Amino acid sequence: MAKAKLMDYDKALELFEPVLGFEVHVELSTKTKMFSAAPNNFGSEPNTNITPTCLGLPGSLPVVNEEAVRYSISLGLALDCEIAESSSFARKNYFYPDLAKNYQISQFDEPIAINGNVEVELPNGRVFQIDIERAHMEEDAGKLTHVGGSTGRIQGAEYSLVDYNRAGVPLVEIVTRMIEGAEHDAPELAKAYVATIRDIVLALGISDAKMERGNLRCDANVSLRPRGSDKLGTRTETKNVNSLRSVERAVRYEIQRQAQILADGGTIIQETRHWHEDTGATSAGRPKSDADDYRYFPEPDLLPVVPDPALIEDLRAALPEKPAERRRRLKADWGFTDLEFQDVVNSGLLNEITETVAAGATPQAARKWWTGEIARLANAAEGDAGIDITPAQVAELQQLVNEGTLTDRLARQVLEAVAAGEGSPRKIVETKGLAVVSDDGALIAAIDEALSAQPDVLEKIKDGKVQAAGAVIGAVMKAMQGKADAARVRELVLERAAAL
Amino acid sequence: MSDISAEQVRHLANLARIDLSDAEIATMTTELGQIMEAVASVQAVATPDVPATSHPIPLKNVYRPDVVADVIPTDKALASAPEHDGSRFKVSAILGEEQ
């Protein structure tokens, strides 16, 4: 695959305005599939979670999973959509062996949810309103493995193997309206949007939302409009984007690629493009079919979904707090500065800090530990299994500091031991004898010894040169193996020097 | 008059993977045109207060509970497949991709 020429990103933005659109597919975590009672499990042996309906065998009939409808309504409500009074299924006809029926059951002109809105916050604090055109129910397709050829991709494959376990898994496809005005932030917005959808479905508890497993998939539409023009450019739709980071990279790549083609006088072909994680590039897929070519028609085997208004209100009342609302509430509750709070959000530490605060630490203390020492330990452990520190342990550690049992320095040592799996902070303090020496008698003995060892320093202190005390404090801290509160030692040094 | 062209029929046949001869396309164009005319006359009768329907019986909300039931054993599922590898269906490599 020849590598496409890319225009410098800033240059591309000077010449063109990026226009975006997203289609996010969310696999619902119901126990069974959308239209059949086959288990909806990830990672089973191939073709073990299948029924005649999944295989489209003659005589089999689909029946709608009630739970999937409830999940879909909840998602629609969480996206601020109107829930359709009546919604219906349609057949999307195409020939590809990922579905055995030669059609996918989807929704076409009567989706379950329409006209929504999602608030998305970027890492730089910019808040974006993304309009949702529709969210509709459909079934997922089976999984093909291409065999033969060198790449494992379809090109050059000799044959393909089909596993229908995923065929029929309930999906909701969320389609945005055209997004303008993102400008330089377009790639970050793409990532933040998908992350927001992920947070919403996780909060609703309706999907595992693991992108690496395909529970959450994003197709990113990108087109460029020349500055000063009001005519939309031709768009491409990038698929196979399996991580938040890839969403960002793929959008940036498409902006740079399209800008170069347009600047060279070329034209953008309306097509799907495949994102390749390894090369960080997209390659051409099939030309985008017209919707007409799918020959959608009402699914004759299924009846309309007409949700009871009382059910909708019940589901609305049960909605969790929206991610954007939660962030606003936490920021106010915690009293963090914009910068502190953004740092926490960008580090993905909202839950950890919430739980640490719930376990008794102050917000500032919780923030300090998680964004500071714990982040440092986690970075140092990268490549390994990571580190395992719980919010309760952090709260306990801070409690030990507040009690005066640990200094900050000792607390960091204890934290390292916690990360190494040596137990709770309190237990580590006991077994390692890491507590601060708070016995003034022991401190005074060490101070007297240090003062007599450095008579010149003692004289200076007596002369009022209190900054000279540093040398004595250092010696005492060393004698105490760091397990003393330096401020208390300083107090005692000055007291003893005056008394001697 | 029929508002379907031979070109549309050819396109539809191609989408449906049906290999039609020119003579068949001519016949189908005429026949589909007649069907379209029939549909058009029904549409002329239908007024805005008649809602579109895809079902003759006004049923709605036919659901099943989210409870797992029996699956087909893999060997049975594969039994009538022309080719398989013991756990998966084997199909010819098709130049195309997921929709």
What's the token pair of residue A111?
């989706």
Q: Which residues from B are below 8 Å from A51, CB to CB?
A: 69-72
Please give the Cα distance from A18 to A258 (Å, whole number): 10
User: DSSP per residue over A18-87, as a string?
Assistant: EEEEEEEEEE---SB-SSS-SB--SSPPTT-S--HHHHT-TT----EEHHHHHHHHHHHHHTTPEEPSSB
Is A83 in CB contact (< 8 Å) with chain B? no
* Shortest distance, CA A51 to any CA of chain B (angstroms): 5
| Contact assignment for B67 to A31 by CB distance below 8 Å | yes
Residue A102 C-beta-side C-alpha neighbours within 13 Å: 7
Q: How are beta strands B63-64 and A64-65 bridged, if at all?
A: parallel
| Contact assignment for B87 to A47 by CB distance below 8 Å | yes
What's the token pair of residue B56?
């003759």
Q: Which residues contact A405 (CB under 8 A, 6 or more apart)?
A: A429, A435, A436, A438
Stated as kind and residue range, the H or E segment containing A145 is strand A143-147
Place of tokens 């790449």: A151
DSSP A229: -
Among B11, B53, B74, B97, the strongest candidate for a mutation testing the A interface, having the largest count of A CBs within 10 A, is: B97
Which phi and psi (to 5°) does residue A179 adopt?
-110, 115
Beta carbons of A214 and A13 less than 8 angstroms apart: no
Q: What is the pLDDT confidence band of residue B1, given thresholds at 50, 70 and 90? A: very low
* Shortest distance, CA B54 to any CA of chain A (angstroms): 6
Stated as kind and residue range, the H or E segment containing A130 is strand A127-139
Q: Which residues from B are below 8 Å from A140, CB to CB?
A: none
Per DSSP, what are the bridge partners of residue A486?
Answer: none
| Contact assignment for B66 to A162 by CB distance below 8 Å | no
Question: Which residue from A minimizes the CA distance to B84?
Answer: A161
Alpha helices in A147-293 (DSSP H): 186-204, 244-263
Q: Which residue did the predictor score with more confidence, B40 or A139?
A: A139
Please tell me the predicted confidence (pLDDT) of residue B99. Answer: 43
Q: How are beta strands A16-27 and A236-241 bridged, if at all?
A: unpaired
| Contact assignment for B89 to A161 by CB distance below 8 Å | yes
| Contact assignment for A67 to B98 by CB distance below 8 Å | no
Closest C-alpha among A324, A404, A333, A405 to residue A362: A333
Please give the Cα distance from A482 to A484 (Å, whole number): 6
Is A178 in CB contact (< 8 Å) with chain B? no
Which residue among B61, B69, B90 sits closest to A161, beta carbon to beta carbon?
Answer: B90
Residues 91-120 of A with CB under 8 A from B: 92-98, 104
Segments making up each domain of chain B, as ranges: 6-82
Place of tokens 């040596």: A422
pLDDT tens for each residue of chain A, 500 residues long: 557 899 999 999 999 999 999 999 999 999 999 999 999 999 999 999 999 999 999 999 999 999 999 999 999 999 999 999 999 999 999 888 999 999 999 999 999 999 999 999 898 889 999 999 999 999 999 999 888 765 555 556 788 999 999 999 999 999 999 999 999 999 999 999 999 999 999 999 999 999 989 999 999 999 999 999 989 999 999 988 989 999 999 999 999 999 999 999 999 998 889 999 889 999 887 776 677 889 999 999 999 999 999 999 999 999 999 888 888 899 999 999 988 998 898 888 899 999 999 999 999 999 999 999 998 888 887 655 567 889 999 999 999 888 888 888 888 989 988 988 888 998 988 888 777 777 777 888 888 888 888 888 888 888 888 788 888 888 888 887 777 778 888 888 888 887 77
Tell whether the torsion through CA atoms of A331, A334, A337 and A342 is positive or negative. Answer: negative
Residues 8-67 of B with CB under 8 A from A: 12, 15-17, 54-55, 59-67
Angle at CA of residue A407, ends A405 and A409, nearest 5°? 140
Q: Is B94 left (phi over 0), alpha (psi -120 to 50) or beta?
A: beta
Is A471 in CB contact (< 8 Å) with chain B? no
Please tell me the predicted confidence (pLDDT) of residue A227. Answer: 94
Please tell me the predicted confidence (pLDDT) of residue A429. Answer: 86
Please give the Cα distance from A47 to A166 (Å, whole number): 9
Q: Which residue did the predictor score with more confidence, B14 or A15?
A: A15
| Contact assignment for A66 to B64 by CB distance below 8 Å | yes
- Could you tell me the domains of chain A? 9-316 (no CATH), 323-432 (no CATH), 440-499 (1.10.10)
Q: Which residue did the predictor score with more confidence, A132 or B94?
A: A132
pTM for the complete prediction? 0.80
Residue A367 CB: number of other CB atoms within 10 A?
A: 23
Beta carbons of A325 and A116 less than 8 angstroms apart: no
Residue A224 C-beta-side C-alpha neighbours within 13 Å: 28
CA distances from A469 to A26, A339, A355, A436, A444 (A): 65, 38, 42, 20, 14
Stated as kind and residue range, the H or E segment containing A287 is strand A281-287
Beta carbons of A219 and A154 less than 8 angstroms apart: no
CB-defined contacts A:B, below 8 A: 141
